[in-house]
Amino acid sequence: MNTLRQNIAAQKADLDRLRPLSPQGLRNLEHVVDLELTYTSNAIEGNTLTASETMLVIEKGITIGGKPLKDHLEAIDHHEAIAYVRDLAGHTDPLTEFDIRTLHGLILKRSQPEQAGRYADQGRFVLTDAGRHGFPSPAEVPALMGSFAAWLVNAPNTPDTAFSAHRQLVGIHPFNDGNGRTARLLMNLILIRGGYPPVAVRPVDRLAYIQALQDAESGRGADAFNRLLMERLHATLGEYLTALRQALHAR
């Protein structure tokens, strides 16, 4: 893990040396990354659209035959939520509880408007290898979110903060649905603010990702979770550096 952190620090230093980043060099890459973030985050939650179908829905407004309307709406909602994340990342104001609820509201804007931005009003449970796991009751959520938001105010924009924020928000599970998507976008918002690229948890990572979250929630530690996301950050930094260097050489 120490070697991985050192490699990420070296990549981040290389990225910082390329700043200010060329808008031309980033425009296409960020567009593709935002499509990937939409596809992967929704797929983790069971959305049936493929990567290419997600692209068609967002770029062309095409309806994919045989796929649920909800899956189309989730793709549009998530992509718009990423635009909000990128805009918010450009500001220096501390992140607030309102920002998190707004982010959740955008994620469910079309697919579940009655729940968008609203805290849970029912129990939330998940089946794990260790048995049924219950999240905090709806009555506990406002106070827990207030404490979480207070922690965010002074937390530095680092990968460790981003990954911890993800785990904490999933642990509170403040919404009836959309908790994972909100947590992943909050994580990426913090990464972008810190000068890092956003990371996608791919469908191939799903089993390891869920198991790592369950380990953290059950008190077995966050090492596996942090390693998985550090590995994804390392890979994504490499992709960004390659794309930016290619753009520089093409001038």
The domain ranges of the chain are 22-249
Q: Is 173 a catalytic residue?
A: yes
Give, for all 251 residues of the chain, the pLDDT tens digit: 899 999 999 999 999 998 877 676 677 888 999 999 999 999 999 999 999 999 999 999 999 999 999 999 999 999 999 999 999 999 999 999 999 999 999 999 999 999 999 999 999 988 777 778 889 999 999 999 999 999 999 999 999 999 999 999 999 999 999 999 999 999 999 999 999 999 999 999 999 999 999 888 888 889 999 999 999 999 999 998 988 888 776 65
CATH for the stretch 22-249: 1.10.3290.10
Q: Which of 72, 79, 104, 173 is catalytic?
A: 173
SS3 annotation, the chain: CHHHHHHHHHHHHHHHHCCCCCHHHHHHHHHHHHHHHHHHHHHHCCCCCCHHHHHHHHHHCCCCCCCCHHHHHHHHHHHHHHHHHHHHHCCCCCCCHHHHHHHHHHHCCCCCCCCCCCCCCCCCEEEECCEEEECCCCCCHHHHHHHHHHHHHHCCCCHHHHHHHHHHHHHHCCCCCCHHHHHHHHHHHHHHHCCCCCCCCCHHHHHHHHHHHHHHHCCCCCHHHHHHHHHHHHHHHHHHHHHHHHHHHCC
